Amino acid sequence: MTAEPLIFGPDFKWGVSASAYQIEGAVTEGGRGTSTWDTFCAEPGRILNGDTGAVACDHYHRYAEDVALMRDLGVDVYRFSFAWPRIQPTGQGPANPAGLDFYDRLIDELLGAGITPAPTLYHWDTPQPLEDAGGWLSRDITSRFADYASILAERFADRVPLWMTINEPMVLTLIGYAVGGHAPGKALGFEALPVAHHQLLAHGRAVQALRAGGAAEIGIATNHAPTWPAGDSPEDVEAAALYDNLINWLFADPIVLGRYPEGLGEAMPGPVAEDLEVISTPLDFFGLNHYSPTRVGAPTGNPDSAATDGLPLPEGLPFEPRPIDEYPKTDFGWPIVPEAFGEILRTLKNRYGDRLPPLYITENGCAINDGPVDGEIADQRRIDYLDGYVRELRKAMDDGIDVRGYFQWSLLDNFEWAAGYSQRFGLVHVDFESQVRTPKASYHWYRDLITKSRG
């Protein structure tokens, strides 16, 4: 039985999140350039079942239908991302008018429905020509990103109050460049660390460009989760601490504190001290994406593939993910641990104290792959997941942690990166052949939660 409804008050912002490459499709329309994800998907064996984002949810053509679904859901905010190659097909130079026009239409549709647009500038879809010129390994991309931010601010700052620079820079660094499981598919190991620094510098330069262009509230969306040592041995504890620094604090410490975790700053390129002054440009909020905790131990030479989403890890790493089998799991194999949500929120507050900006939960959700039965999708496991995590959020807020909103991932089933269309995170079921949208039971549950939470 579901417990009593929770009260978050009328000012708390409820939303849903999505990203351009995962839903838009129309990759050759409207003057859009090629992205690294277009290239990556075209390489045999990269994506499960050979799936691509070429059509995805066809949101480029069906955005009005999707905004209507959000309006009926009752959300306050829609977090989406601009497709950089749709705005600047080569990653530099003048803006593509057709690309700007598409986001004009989307933003106006959202505002007409009473929904606040909350765009992210970059959700991993680098214009391919920039990647060919060195991508995020090259310092030059930080200048290109600042120019891109200025274009967006000039066009949209009058109607968009809430901005995010980069989504989950850790994932691009570690999975895109260090491991090779995401675009651009490089396996550089620790040689990928310059990617982290350049994303951080690009973030800081974009914050300054957005603010100069009149953007009101600016933040970032980074992913954080507790790292649990696999055991009590000094080796396991040390391995978990290193992993924790790379996953959780490599990005947050420079942004919030203006310094890298111990030992990592020395690995970064460029005038690091000067760059950190830009990277730590004050934010109006800090976006937290959270899904599940990770267990890490000293290397044994036998990493468990389930603990790495099936991605191969480079040999010789000083840590090793281990499975978390004592909790139920999503259909993606991620452990469902609501208490870990509260744990990471408290860890952020304890680590940063008064320097931590107000928080938005910019992503939280789960892959539950239940399909239609007699035209209905009874995804009770998603409801149970979301109910547990939202209750942990309320507890953390009761403990004094300043959280301003919660954006569920995701409105629609969509292209789930290397997993293709095999994993469904949506409140709305998408038939990828017909593009028919069907709200799931969780959609109706979330609508009721939003209504009742206002008090």
Q: How far apart are CA 297 and CA 237, in angstroms?
A: 7
Q: How far apart are CA 428 and CA 407, in angstroms?
A: 15
Of the residues 24, 343, 363, 392, which is catalytic? 363
Give Cα 298 to chain centroid, integer Å: 28
> 37: annotated binding-site residue?
no
- How far, CA to CA in Å, does 177 sit from each of 39, 131, 135, 193, 434? 15, 11, 10, 9, 35
Give catalytic status of residue 191 as yes or no: no
> 429: annotated binding-site residue?
no
Phi, psi at 230, each rounded to 5°: -70, -20
Phi, psi at 302, each rounded to 5°: -130, 65
Residue 320 sits at the vertex; the CA angle it makes with 314 and 321, to the nearest 5 degrees, is 110
> 123: annotated binding-site residue?
yes
Of the residues 24, 109, 131, 168, which is catalytic? 168
> 409: annotated binding-site residue?
yes
- In terms of Cα–Cα distance, which of 255, 244, 257 is closest to 220? 255
Spatial contact of 28 and 89, defined as CB atoms under 8 Å apart: no
> 167: annotated binding-site residue?
yes
- In terms of Cα–Cα distance, which of 247, 251, 185, 226 is closest to 47? 185
- In terms of Cα–Cα distance, which of 246, 40, 15, 35 is closest to 122? 35
Residue 146 makes CB contacts below 8 A (sequence gap 6+) with 202, 205, 206, 208, 209
Total residue length of the chain: 455
Give catalytic status of residue 24 as yes or no: no
Is the sign of the CA dihedral 337, 341, 347, 350 positive or negative? negative
> 22: annotated binding-site residue?
yes
Binding residues: 22, 123, 167, 291, 409, 416-417
Binding residues for substrate: 22, 123, 167, 291, 409, 416-417
Residues classed as catalytic: 168, 363
